[in-house]
Amino acid sequence: MLPIFDKIFIDVVSKNSEVADRVRSLYPKEIIFDVETEPFSDLKGTMTSDEFNQSKRTLFLTEYKGHFFKRCPGATQKKTLTCCNYHVLNLGSQCNMNCSYCYLQSYLNSRTTKIFTNIDQALAELKEMADLHPTQPFRVGTGEVIDSLSLDEITLYSRKLINFFKNYPNWVLEFKTKSNKIDQFIDLPGAKNIVVSWSINPPHIINSEEHGTARFDERIAAAKKCRDQGYKIAFHIDPMIWHPEWKENYSFLAEEIAKNFSASDIHIISLGALRFQPEQRQMMRERFGMQSMVNAAEMFTSEGNKMRYDAGLRSEMFQFMQTKIRSLNSGFNIFLCMETPETWINSFDKVPMQMPELKQIFKPLPEVR
Amino acid sequence: MLENVLLKALNTYNHDPDHNRNQVISWFETKKMKPSDLTFLNILKTESEKIRISECFLKCYLLNASFSDTLQILELATELVMINSESAVASDTTDLNVWKNELKKLRYPQTTLSDQDLKNKLESLPWPYGAKIKFERRGDRAGVELKLFITSTADLTKSISALERVKEQI
């Protein structure tokens, strides 16, 4: 089923793009409008919950005016966080799914879901950097402010990116998703440097907090399909959400991963615990109610000002998960996402640069211009 | 909504609407409280939920709670009522700190328990003689603040030895 939009606006600069053509072929013409300026750009200030909800159902095709290729926001908080040198390529913004904890609720300020149609410019930027540093192990993800694949059947960008990255085997491309939308590229043979990753939680959490996403078994099935086609797989068990049965439910998740995938199938497994900016609490409360496990959670201000679980509880959760995963398969590479050095030490007894299997990932890379 | 919530509560307490209105306006002005400070009240849905929070509001008003205490109390109470409508958010105490702590215990029950366990454990450790320790939660971390008064290198050596013992037992 195609992603649902109430209205689709096509910027005049994007009207001849491949994506615009595809949108016109997929959606009824009654909901498609040509525009010369960004819709609702006159509306300033923080979005209300209703506006945020509506922005998920209003698509705007336009060109991105800045640099596509950037460092992950974790890198900007190096004083407080241990950063894994991730780079991002933002080919759109907003998400058509609806997780209660989503950080976009405090990050975005546009009343539309955007798809940037100038993919060729993004690829040109990538090429420039990749030609400069072809042997450096850059990891590039497209799922920072938009799910990498949930709108991909509209854009088909995955196909262009896969073909591009095959020319740069030391660079790693990561599609990060909570969908099971892989059919649009699965005919292309995979490669070791192309990772399809799933942000994943136990079924209980998916059902209650990750609205509109693919079910647990659908994500696992899609991952198996990608593995069978030669793609590397990654799992981001993030955000781990505490609930009374968390040990049983996260054990089940680890067992399912270990049952279905070998260490050689999996690029990395990352762990992260629930965290969010204090500014988004109100929108979360209004949109998902206080019965949501995320809103009812016991959260405290942490260094860097994000709301997090108690540091001791976080370490307990990470230690538990690490031990569980390693007991099932000691070959999996596990790391923490957006965590402080203290939590690394409390959970793993080490920081990543002291861990041979992670050193390569955390090694500083040349600056992106 | 903000003024109305308090006004409604105040009218049930003191049947002089005009006087109450002036009092409420003046109170909000003095506290420099704006409707945007209390947007969390928007999640209240039923009349009974609103009444319960307006009672808390009235109590803050009558105790002349500060801007920050009022906000903390109301936010905790609102979340508690919305998590569990049976939550005992009202309190008999007239001490705002006691009330806030009661609400925090209800809102953060697990952390309250684990903090108490940690406090007991840390306080039972063999800290250096004369050391003052104070258990504290600072945001997402809990621990002890340790104060030592050192007058000589001998004092320092003794304290370091004691701290080594603490390290072994922690």
Q: What's the average model confidence in pLDDT over A86-93?
A: 92
Domain match, B45 and B101 both: yes
Q: What is the mean pLDDT of chain B?
A: 89
Look at residue B7 in the predicted model and tell me its pLDDT: 73
* Measured distance CA(A369)–CA(A348) in Å, rounded: 34
pLDDT 10s digits, B27-50: 888 888 888 888 899 999 898 898
Domain boundary among B107, B138, B159: B107
Q: CATH fold of A66-362, please?
A: pyruvate-formate lyase- activating enzyme (3.80.30)
The residue among B81, B140, B146, B135 whose CA lies nearest residue B107 is: B81
B67 and B20 part of one domain: yes
Does residue B87 share a domain with residue B6? yes
Nearest to A257 by CA among A327, A343, A352, A354: A327
Domain check: are B92 and B39 in the same one? yes
The answer on B114 and B103 residing in a single domain is no
**Prediction pTM value:** 0.90
Structural domain for B142, as ranges: 110-169
A77: pLDDT strictly greater than 90: no
What are residue A89's DSSP bridge partners? Answer: A69
CA distance A102 to A52: 12
The DSSP result for A72-83, as a single string, is -GGGGGTTTSB-
How many structural domains does chain B have?
2
From the number of C-beta atoms within 10 Å of its C-beta (0-12, 13-18, 19+), residue A250 rates as: buried
Interface test with chain A among B41, B140, B141, B170, by most A beta carbons within 10 Å:
B140
> Cβ A298–B114 below 8 Å, yes or no?
no
Average pLDDT over residues B122-142: 95
Q: Do A282 and B139 touch (CB under 8 A)?
A: no
Q: Output the pLDDT for position B25.
A: 81
Residue of B nearest to A301 (CA): B139
Domain boundaries, chain A: 66-362
Distance from CA of B116 to the nearest CA of A (A): 13
Q: Output the pLDDT for position A352.
A: 67
User: pLDDT (tens digit, 9 = 90+) per residue, A227-259?
Assistant: 999 999 999 999 999 999 999 999 999 999 999
- Do residues B66 and B118 share a domain? no
Inter-chain contact B114–A310, Cβ cutoff 8 Å?
yes
Residue that is last in its domain, among B62, B80, B107: B107
The mean pLDDT of chain A is 92
Contact yes or no for A286 and B83 at CB 8 A: no
Six-digit token string for A153: 């059947």
Residues B78 and B125 in one domain: no
Closest Cβ–Cβ partner in A285, A291, A314 for B40:
A285
**Domain-ending residue, one of B62, B77, B107:** B107
Please tell me whether residues B79 and B139 are part of one structural domain.
no
Which residues on A lie below 8 Å from B82 (Cβ)?
Answer: 285, 289-291
Confidence bin at B163 (pLDDT 50/70/90): very high
CA dihedral A214, A148, A151, A52 (to 10 degrees): 80
Residues B57-110 have pLDDT tens digits of: 889 988 999 999 999 999 999 999 999 888 888 888 999 999 999 999 999 999
pLDDT digits (tens, 9 = 90+) for A108-135: 989 999 999 999 999 999 999 999 989 8
Each residue of A303-358: pLDDT tens digit? 889 999 999 999 999 999 999 999 999 999 888 876 776 776 776 776 766 677 66
pLDDT of residue B90: 87
- Nearest Cβ partner for A282 among B39, B82, B108: B39
Q: Are residues B149 and B88 in the same domain?
A: no
Q: Do B82 and A290 count as a contact with CB atoms less than 8 A apart?
A: yes
In this complex, do A303 and B118 lie within 8 Å of one another by their Cβ atoms? Answer: no
